[in-house]
Amino acid sequence: MKAFVVERYGSEAGARMREVPEPDLGEHDVLVQVRAASVNPLDVKIRDGEFKLILPYRVPFVLGHDMAGEVVRVGSAVRSFAPGDEVYARPRKDRIGTLSELMAVHEDDVAAKPSTLSMVEAAALPLVALTAWQALVERADVRPGQKVLVHAGSGGVGTIAIQLAKHLGAHVATTAGTANVTWVQRLGADVVVDYRRDDFETILRDYDVVLDSLGGETLEKSFRVLKPGGLAIGIAGPPDLAFAREINAHPIVRLATMLLSARPKLRARRRHVRYAFLFMRASGEQLRAVTALVDAGAITPVVDRVFSFESTKEAMAYVASGRAKGKVVVTMG
């Protein structure tokens, strides 16, 4: 079968389309004929080696973190799925590889595809929807009337997080470029800060939660818009010790993550707020909750561009450019 494979870390030239063996099927696995798969900024970062410290995939490996498709075979212990079922999934972090014609996924990571969505639309959801859910529902426990700031509202995570926060009853602010201000307002943002014209820290005050996908200076400024006790959740890093423990990292890696997160943790404590790093995990159960919201009309996926599977390298380059509004998807014919 064909798959998009990282053969060496560090550059665009290190990944290409090639033939690979079909995946083995475990007793709790579902074998999916992939119809569409997303290309995410995470894929670019992994290809370039930015996550080698905490996600040391051994080359060559197939890239890709979420997909939609049709079940073609199930393992002997699987009872929840059958051949012909339309599903979507974000496989667990040690079993990535959705940019392929066939994908074996543990049944616990799979959910029935929302009936209201096409394969392309469904493939755009798992990674970003699970990230938003785990940040706003699981970590922050957002309640009606709270104030939530979502950075980069026109991005993949941002477009879903705005909609989810509004569904949870929050007052939502976001940052976006001039061209996207009206567009993110239509997604549900109550306040939009045009980062090309204004500095969000001079405008926003007393927020309960910040979801930051940018890191660096944006994260540190975010501490200053939180009320005492508020929570900044970073998905761009730096990773913290809690995450290193969660992935059972080597003691040296644990020490490195503790040092990397020392500065933002200290800055947060000085302002009497909190910082937590989030690297989303696979969950078929949470995807089923997302499916219910999608089919009820509360969340709509945003697809910027669709590429053919043969043009995956071009899709990666487009994502790396930072110009995508919503998600980028490749289709397998």
- pLDDT tens digit sequence for 198-253: 999 999 999 999 999 999 999 999 999 999 999 999 998 788 777 777 777 778 77
Three-state DSSP class for 71? strand
Amino acid identity for residue 137 in this structure: V
Cβ neighbours of residue 250 under 8 Å, at least 6 residues apart?
Answer: none
Q: Answer whether 0.85 is exceeded by the pTM.
A: yes
Question: Average of pLDDT values for 106-118?
Answer: 98
Question: Average of pLDDT values for 273-293?
Answer: 96
Chain-wide mean pLDDT for the chain?
A: 94
Find out whether 68 and 287 touch, Cβ atoms under 8 Å: no
Find out whether 213 and 257 touch, Cβ atoms under 8 Å: no
How far apart CA 205 and CA 190 sit, in angstroms, is 14
Tell me: pLDDT of 148 over 90.
yes
Q: Alpha helices of 83-155 — where are they, by DSSP H?
A: 119-123, 126-133
Least confident of 23-27, 53-57, 106-110, 173-177: 53-57
Q: How far is CA 68 from the centre of its chain?
A: 15
The full DSSP string for 221-234 is HHHTTEEEEEEEEE
pLDDT number for residue 133? 98
Question: Average of pLDDT values for 266-275?
Answer: 93
Find out whether 132 and 155 touch, Cβ atoms under 8 Å: no
Condensed to tens digits (0 to 9), the pLDDT of residues 165-186 reads: 999 999 999 999 999 999 999 9
Superfamily of domain 127-277: NAD(P)-binding Rossmann-like Domain (3.40.50.720)
Name the CA dihedral angle for 248, 128, 14, 216, rounded to a multiple of 10 degrees. Answer: -70
Tell me: pLDDT of 48 over 80.
yes
pLDDT number for residue 213? 94
Find out whether 89 and 126 touch, Cβ atoms under 8 Å: yes
Q: How far is CA 292 from the centre of its chain?
A: 19
Banded pLDDT at 266 (limits 50, 70, 90): confident
Pairing of strands 207-212, 191-194: unpaired
Choose among 91, 71, 11: nearest CA to 280. Answer: 91
Choose among 98, 38, 128, 39: nearest CA to 317. Answer: 39
The correct CATH number of 2-124+301-331 out of 1.10.3720.10, 3.20.20.120, 3.90.180.10, 3.40.50.300 is 3.90.180.10
Find out whether 165 and 131 touch, Cβ atoms under 8 Å: no
Percent of the chain scored above 90 by pLDDT?
85
Condensed to tens digits (0 to 9), the pLDDT of residues 22-33 reads: 999 999 999 999
pLDDT number for residue 200? 98
Banded pLDDT at 54 (limits 50, 70, 90): confident
Cβ count near 25 (within 10 Å): 17
Cβ neighbours of residue 126 under 8 Å, at least 6 residues apart?
Answer: 38, 65, 66, 67, 88, 89, 90, 287
Domain boundaries, the chain: 2-124+301-331, 127-277
How far apart CA 196 and CA 198 sit, in angstroms, is 6
Backbone CA torsion sign across 58, 122, 212, 230: negative
**Structure tokens of 154?**
């026109």
